């Protein structure tokens, strides 16, 4: 009792400190009182919800780190936040959207909905590309958006699904169920810190796509790593096409370019001729840049030409800035020549050809007529690979705490929304994989003394635990169960402490001999110790 009072007191002190810190930031912002009030209310609700979120989900950043990130984004990335009433004339500025952000001006316009405001804050703090465009070509934008959107949805979750009393997920409030599934798959397999660092990778000092491939391979083996890499890339392409018509057209254009490149590499002589032609074109461009740089009159003409087609926020400030930009462009052209020279080396040519052939799968995806059907198929395949990797995590767990951590993580995964109506645990195509993973998990929980032997019938045990994993009880240690008999039928009743949650029909007395059940009727026992 004394410890609980100390924890409550500490919580109030921490909450007060965060409020004070946010208020200090807001003092230097020209936000309306309504906006400031909404931000403080948002922070207050997060404070109350985060402990349950952290316990139920696991493998997340600390509450302190999470709140510090939000306050930092408000301080450094938000010059203006405007809260707009839905019934006001200004609501027309939002159109059909609930918020609008301008990354260049660092402004947010949003309806007075805390969850939407938090999503906008998460989004405005992101860099558009977190995967090198030059290196990863047509995959760069789709993969960047996949990780960024998933991260935004992940940021909103404590406020969206937890209220300090219960855990409730409404599929209509998740901005994109598909983005969320893939992001949460990667978070569980790679850890939240890796994805956080990836999203915050601003200067491409580290190639996180390469680090991602290495980490997956190291922890889950070559075959699983290749499957995850291919599936995530394909899903990213389809999601980009689904949500962005302009991106779809660009991908179709890139796909046509890919076919053209594939045609050229079928014959080494033809490819050599193509490289020679490209080098001539690049050298001509270098000569043009040199001509402009060495003549102030031509530099002035180029300055005016470029500015005439650029929007206001992207205009070139002076001819000196243009000259610096042209020098960088010249260096880039020389790098292209160097890459072309390297491609003519036999070993590099073979590798380049193989890369193009691998990308041919992407071209076939771009021509997909029914994106939703193909997406569902690929996400199903990804879940199957995910569960194979999760079983490796189960095998590698060394302590009781690590095994219990995995129980929580799998229950969270089990409850992830797969579509607008069903969680992953309810998808028919995944049932065999789920039962196999649950069986592997139960072997370890019994070994560590976390669960008991409730029945020797494997199918019955899996059935009970699938129902247990559907419970949104924050603390798994609070779940109890008790078998009951009604007429000739045996049921298992599940409780959140003393509160009844659900009843599962197990079968008739003839189908389940008493000795196979291992529990006394009408007696409640803890599920997890």
Instruction: Encode the chain (529 residues) as per-residue pLDDT tens digits.
Output: 444 444 454 444 445 578 888 999 999 999 999 999 999 999 999 999 999 999 999 999 999 999 999 999 999 999 999 999 998 999 999 998 999 999 989 999 999 999 999 999 999 989 989 998 878 888 899 999 999 999 999 999 999 999 989 999 999 999 999 999 999 999 999 999 999 999 998 677 789 999 999 999 999 999 999 999 999 999 999 999 998 888 777 777 777 777 777 777 777 788 888 889 999 999 999 999 999 999 999 999 999 999 888 887 788 888 898 999 999 999 999 999 998 888 888 888 887 777 777 777 777 788 888 999 999 999 999 999 999 999 999 999 999 999 999 999 999 999 999 999 999 999 999 999 999 999 999 999 999 999 988 888 888 999 999 999 999 999 999 999 999 999 889 999 999 999 999 999 999 988 887 778 878 899 999 999 9
Please check whether residues 417 and 353 belong to one and the same domain.
Answer: no
Please check whether residues 348 and 425 belong to one and the same domain.
Answer: no
Which pLDDT score, from 0 to 100, does residue 6 have? 44
Tokens of 100: 């609008």
Please check whether residues 344 and 443 belong to one and the same domain.
Answer: no
Candidates 73, 77, 81; CA nearest to 103 is 77
Q: Could you say which DSSP state residue 430 is in?
A: G
Q: Could you say which DSSP state residue 489 is in?
A: E
Please check whether residues 15 and 101 belong to one and the same domain.
Answer: yes
Please check whether residues 346 and 458 belong to one and the same domain.
Answer: no
Q: Is residue 158 part of a domain?
A: no
Distances (CA, A) of 425 to 445, 469, 471: 20, 8, 11
Q: Of 104, 125, 146, at which residue does a domain stop?
A: 125
Q: Is residue 202 part of a domain?
A: no
Q: Of 88, 103, 125, at which residue does a domain stop?
A: 125
d(CA 325, CA 289): 10
Instruction: Mention every residue, 6+ apart, whose C-beta is less than 8 A from residue 397.
Output: 403, 405, 406, 444
Please check whether residues 406 and 484 belong to one and the same domain.
Answer: yes
Please check whether residues 109 and 52 belong to one and the same domain.
Answer: yes
d(CA 150, CA 417): 14
CB of 451 closer than 8 Å to CB of 529: yes
CB of 113 closer than 8 Å to CB of 175: no
Which pLDDT score, from 0 to 100, does residue 463 have? 93
- Main-chain phi, psi angles of 417, to 5 degrees: -70, 130
Please check whether residues 405 and 339 belong to one and the same domain.
Answer: no
Which pLDDT score, from 0 to 100, does residue 516 have? 80
Q: Is residue 77 part of a domain?
A: yes
pTM: 0.83
Please check whether residues 7 and 121 belong to one and the same domain.
Answer: yes
Q: Is residue 235 part of a domain?
A: no
CB of 502 closer than 8 Å to CB of 424: no
CA atoms within 13 A on the CB side of 281: 8
Q: Give the chain's radius of gyration (CA, Å).
A: 28
Strand order in the sheet with 99-102: 80-83, 107-110, 99-102
Tokens of 137: 């070509």
Candidates 40, 117, 128, 50; CA nearest to 78 is 117
Candidates 25, 19, 69, 23; CA nearest to 45 is 19
Q: How many CB atoms lie within 10 A of CB 474?
A: 18
Which pLDDT score, from 0 to 100, does residue 16 have? 58
Distances (CA, A) of 77 to 74, 146, 423: 6, 21, 35
Q: Is residue 160 part of a domain?
A: no
Please check whether residues 337 and 422 belong to one and the same domain.
Answer: no
Please check whether residues 406 and 351 belong to one and the same domain.
Answer: no
Distances (CA, A) of 519 to 346, 359, 507: 70, 56, 15
Please check whether residues 429 and 512 belong to one and the same domain.
Answer: yes
Host domain of residue 418: 398-526
Q: Of 103, 125, 147, at which residue does a domain stop?
A: 125
Domain count, the chain: 3
């Amino acid at each position: 009792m004394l410890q609980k009072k100390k924890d409550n007191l500490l919580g109030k002190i921490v909450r007060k400190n965060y409020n004070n810190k946010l208020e200090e930031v807001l003092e230097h912002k020209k936000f309306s009182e309504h906006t400031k009030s909404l931000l403080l209310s948002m922070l207050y609700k997060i404070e109350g919800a985060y402990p349950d979120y952290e316990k139920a989900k696991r493998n997340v950043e600390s509450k302190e780190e999470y709140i510090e990130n939000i306050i930092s984004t408000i301080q450094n990335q938000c010059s203006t936040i405007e809260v707009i009433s839905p019934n006001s004339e200004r609501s027309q500025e939002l159109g059909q959207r609930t918020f609008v952000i301008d990354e260049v001006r660092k402004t947010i316009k949003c309806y007075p909905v805390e969850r939407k405001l938090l999503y906008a804050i998460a989004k405005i703090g992101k860099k558009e590309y977190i995967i090198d465009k030059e290196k990863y070509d047509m995959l760069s934008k789709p993969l960047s958006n996949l990780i960024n959107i998933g991260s935004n949805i992940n940021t909103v979750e404590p406020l969206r699904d937890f209220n300090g009393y219960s855990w409730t997920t409404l599929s209509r409030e998740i901005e994109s169920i598909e983005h969320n599934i893939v992001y949460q798959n990667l978070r569980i397999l790679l850890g939240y810190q890796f994805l956080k660092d990836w999203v915050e990778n601003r200067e491409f000092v580290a190639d996180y796509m390469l680090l991602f491939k290495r980490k997956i391979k190291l922890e889950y083996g070559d075959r699983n790593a290749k499957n995850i890499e291919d599936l995530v890339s394909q899903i990213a392409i389809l999601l980009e096409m689904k949500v962005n018509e302009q991106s779809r057209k660009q991908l179709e254009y890139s796909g046509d370019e890919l076919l053209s490149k594939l045609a050229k590499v079928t014959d080494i002589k033809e490819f050599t001729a193509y490289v020679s032609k490209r080098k001539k074109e690049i050298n001509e461009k270098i000569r043009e840049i040199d001509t402009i740089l060495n003549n102030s009159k031509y530099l002035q003409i180029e300055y005016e030409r470029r500015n005439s087609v650029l929007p206001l926020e992207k205009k070139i400030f002076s001819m000196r800035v243009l000259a610096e930009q042209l020098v960088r462009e010249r260096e880039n052209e020389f790098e292209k020549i160097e890459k072309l020279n390297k491609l003519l080396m036999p070993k590099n040519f073979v590798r380049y050809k193989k890369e193009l052939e691998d990308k041919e799968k992407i071209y076939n995806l771009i021509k997909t007529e029914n994106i939703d059907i193909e997406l569902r198929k690929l996400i199903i395949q990804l879940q199957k690979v995910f569960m194979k990797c999760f079983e490796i995590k189960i095998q590698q767990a060394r302590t009781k705490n690590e095994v219990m951590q995995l129980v929580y993580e799998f229950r969270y995964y089990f409850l992830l929304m797969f579509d607008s109506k069903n969680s992953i645990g309810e998808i028919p195509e995944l049932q065999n994989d789920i039962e196999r993973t649950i069986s592997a998990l139960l072997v370890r929980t019994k070994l560590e003394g976390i669960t008991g032997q409730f029945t020797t019938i494997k199918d019955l045990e899996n059935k009970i635990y699938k129902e247990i994993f559907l419970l949104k009880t924050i603390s798994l240690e609070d779940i109890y169960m008790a078998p009951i008999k009604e007429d000739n039928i045996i049921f298992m009743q599940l409780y959140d402490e003393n509160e009844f949650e659900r009843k599962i029909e197990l079968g008739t007395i003839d189908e389940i001999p008493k000795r196979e059940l291992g529990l006394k009727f009408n007696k409640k026992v803890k599920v997890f110790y």
